[in-house]
Amino acid sequence: MNFTQEDAKKLLEIIKARRDVRGNRFISTPIEDEKITAILEAGISAPSVGYSQPWKFVLIQDAKTKVSIAKNFAHENAKAQEIFQERSLYKELKLEGIKEAPINIAVLYEPSPKEVLGMTSMKKMGEYSVVCAVQNMWLMARALNIGIGWVSILDEQKVLKAIQAKEHSQLVAYLCVGYVDKFYEQSELKTLGWEREKLLEESVTYL
């Protein structure tokens, strides 16, 4: 199938309109089952090293589990506040939406018990494959006007225990998923002056 210029333009529009969404923007409107399925389908359509498809998605709606993850975040974020004590803005930042988002999705990497084609030299390719799934989900969610926020200020082992993950699983992403009151036009961390935008010429070298 050949796509049109219009299709490519639309794809770029979705890529550029994707935002990380935190608790201050989520609304409680439930997400339709078919939209969750579409987001997960996008995830499992990602490329993966040796076609190993090493992902597992844990959908979390249970309030008790969310409370335990939110406590985990609060504990880890207190440590982060110490690390960033020179930058007073850090304390003002809302960096998760665990309780506000109607659904949380833990995206896990389950290493294969056998050798994987393409992973014989570079050992992190399994985890990278799962990241590809996360990005697909993020973009599909945005195309459906659903927000996703990635939370990484967490004690991984405690999360794995709270969600009863299989032994050897790794937490790649903890996602907060829900409808939003609005999507920001640019990264909130840029707007708030935490980081500046890197230009294309700073990101590319030519040999």
Ligand X SMILES: Cc1cc2nc3c(=O)[nH]c(=O)nc-3n(C[C@H](O)[C@H](O)[C@H](O)COP(=O)(O)O)c2cc1C
Buried-state track 3-15, b at ≥16 Cβ within 10 A, e below 16: eeeeeeeeeeeee
Site for ligand X in 111-130 (CB under 6 A): none
Among 76, 150, 155, 158, binds ligand X (CB under 6 A): 150
Nearer to ligand X, 20 or 100 (CB): 20
Structural contact between residues 41 and 143, judged by C-beta atoms closer than 8 angstroms: no
Choices 47-55, 100-108, 144-152, 163-171 (CB under 6 A): range interacting with ligand X: 144-152
Among 38, 56, 153, 158, binds ligand X (CB under 6 A): 153
Structure tokens at 132: 């590809």
Choices 34-42, 111-119, 149-157, 158-166 (CB under 6 A): range interacting with ligand X: 149-157
Q: How far is CA 57 from CA 130, 141, 172, in A?
A: 10, 15, 10
Among 37, 145, 152, 157, binds ligand X (CB under 6 A): 152
Site string for ligand X, 10-49 (x = CB under 6 A): ---------xx-x---------------------------
95 binds ligand X (CB under 6 A): yes
Q: Residue 14: left if φ>0, alpha if ψ -120 to 50, beta else—which one?
A: alpha
Q: How many residues does the chain have?
A: 207
Q: How far is CA 44 from CA 21, 34, 39, 41, 132, in A?
A: 22, 15, 9, 5, 9
Nearer to ligand X, 96 or 100 (CB): 96
List interacting residues with ligand X (CB under 6 A).
Answer: 19-20, 22, 95-96, 150-153, 187, 189
